[in-house]
């Protein structure tokens, strides 16, 4: 039983190194992590920030028509917001969780031993 646990720990270490890639530790002595988002330039960064702020304002006010009525240039670029969210979505980490689930369900299944 103990050797099986050691094997599981070794497998977990390898899997975590392979899949945990979205968050990187911040090298400042704190226990903080950072996620990287890529932008073409400062303008795209500004557009994402303002669109996220507008989306939050709309969610709080429930007045979806107000922003577009005041200025046509203030419409929210939903595709840009969604693209940004896709960049920070931790898909590899979810894949890791699936691997762990498979590993433990396979280990607990008596037919696999």
Spatial neighbors of 77 by CB under 8 A, at least 6 apart, are 47, 51
**What pLDDT was estimated at residue 108?**
59
Q: At what angle do helices 42-61 and 78-88 cross, to 10 degrees?
A: 100
**Helix or strand holding residue 84 (H, E):** helix 78-88
Tens digit of each residue's pLDDT (9 = 90 or more) over 9-32: 898 888 888 888 888 889 888 889
Burial zone of 84 (CB within 10 Å; 0-12 exposed, 13-18 middle, 19+ buried): buried
Q: Which residue has the higher pLDDT, 95 or 110?
A: 95
Q: How far apart are CA 58 and CA 85, in angstroms?
A: 18
Tokens encoding 44: 């795209």
Tens digit of each residue's pLDDT (9 = 90 or more) over 20-72: 888 888 988 888 989 889 999 999 888 888 888 888 878 777 655 555 565 66
């Amino acid at each position: 039983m103990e050797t099986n646990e050691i094997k599981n720990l070794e497998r977990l270490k390898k899997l975590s190194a392979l899949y945990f890639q979205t968050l990187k530790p911040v090298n400042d002595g704190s226990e903080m992590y950072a996620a990287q988002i890529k932008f073409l330039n400062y303008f795209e960064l500004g557009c994402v920030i303002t669109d996220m702020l507008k989306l939050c304002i709309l969610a709080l006010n429930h007045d979806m028509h107000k922003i577009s009525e005041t200025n046509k240039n203030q419409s929210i670029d939903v595709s840009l917001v969604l693209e940004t969210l896709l960049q920070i979505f931790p898909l590899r980490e979810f894949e890791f969780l699936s691997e762990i689930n498979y590993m433990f369900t396979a280990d607990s299944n008596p037919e696999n031993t």
